[in-house]
Amino acid sequence: MTRPFRFGVNLVGLTTGDAWREKCRKAEALGYDVLLVPDHLGAPAPFPTLVAAAEATERPRVGTFVLNTGFWNPALLARDVATTDALTGGRLELGLGTGYVKPEHDAAGLPWGTPGERVGHLRRTVEELTALLASDEHQPPTLQKPRPPLLIGGNGDRMLRLAAEHADIAAFTGARSVPGDDSGKLLHLTAEELDGRLAAYHRFAADRAEPAELNLLVQMVEVTDDRRAAIRPVVDYIPHLTEETALELPLLLIGTVRQIADQLRAQRERYGFSYITVLEPYFEAFGPVIEELAGS
């Protein structure tokens, strides 16, 4: 089954409340379906900004992309999720991840742990959160039952297995952490490597009653008539790739509006990505692509 496209934007900049609400309204006017916020120290607190985003708009859903689960315990998270779901009129989508920046944990005085420990904490959080929100005794209750839609993001086998078991939306970054680097630096996956990650996910999800929606986080959008000129500065940061292989990266959208739209259609056919998230610096440039893909 081919899902229709959905488009999200990950918004990070906050100066004033008025500017935030105006930015959210602009994203709605451009056609975005979901207004998203990350969870980093130095960025706005996720849940208050989502409530403000929902109050400023009418149509888009709102969501976390993604919460650093190491910052939370299940009971406190359940309270914030239920409150935000109620205050946004049942428009919340909850994205969860393990966190990937050790200095943030250090600054917050929170344990970092091994990759396995971080995935284990995420699994416990998902299971306990789901049980809490599904309970008729939980206060406040969520509007969405048994809980808001759950997105889990990651590329490793343990994360993919967890997403296959629990997530309504499985999110792929198109990148992986650099081995031995806890600073948050990421290494881009080639198209073939992403094929492998999708194949692993589908193995883990083979017994699902209903398939999950698949999300891709896009790292760059540039509308241009000269794709090669646009990619040359990027290759300096990904020296393990050539210009040709860099242009094949699913997380880079470079070309005319028609070329980018065709790329996204081809990636939906190849990988199943129907839910596309872009970063705030590119959300206006991506607007014409949303218009080009409307209804498809």
Q: What contacts 81, CB < 8 A, 6 or more positions away?
A: 92, 94, 129, 133, 142, 147, 148
Q: What is the CATH number of the domain that holds 197?
A: 3.20.20.30
Mean pLDDT, the chain, whole residue set: 94
Show Cβ contacts of residue 32 under 8 Å, excluding neighbours closer than 6 positions.
7, 8, 9, 60, 283, 290
Residue 12: give the domain boundaries: 6-292
Number of domains composing the chain = 1
Would 283 be classed as within a structural domain?
A: yes
Residue 1 lies in a domain: no
pLDDT in tens, 123-157: 999 999 999 999 999 999 999 999 999 999 888 99
What contacts 30, CB < 8 A, 6 or more positions away?
283, 284, 286, 287, 290
- The three-state secondary structure class of 125 is helix
Other CB atoms within a 10 A radius of the CB of residue 203 amount to: 12
Q: Which two tokens stand for residue 35?
A: 């207004």
Residue 284 has which token pair?
């206006």
Q: Is the peptide bond before 140 cis (omega within 30 degrees of 0)?
A: yes
pLDDT tens sequence across 160-211:
999 999 999 999 987 666 566 555 566 778 888 899 999 999 999 999 999 9
Kindly report, residue by residue over 68-124, the tens digit of the pLDDT. 999 999 999 999 999 999 999 999 999 999 998 999 999 999 999 999 999 999 999
| pLDDT confidence of residue 32 | 98
> pTM here?
0.94
pLDDT of residue 196: 94
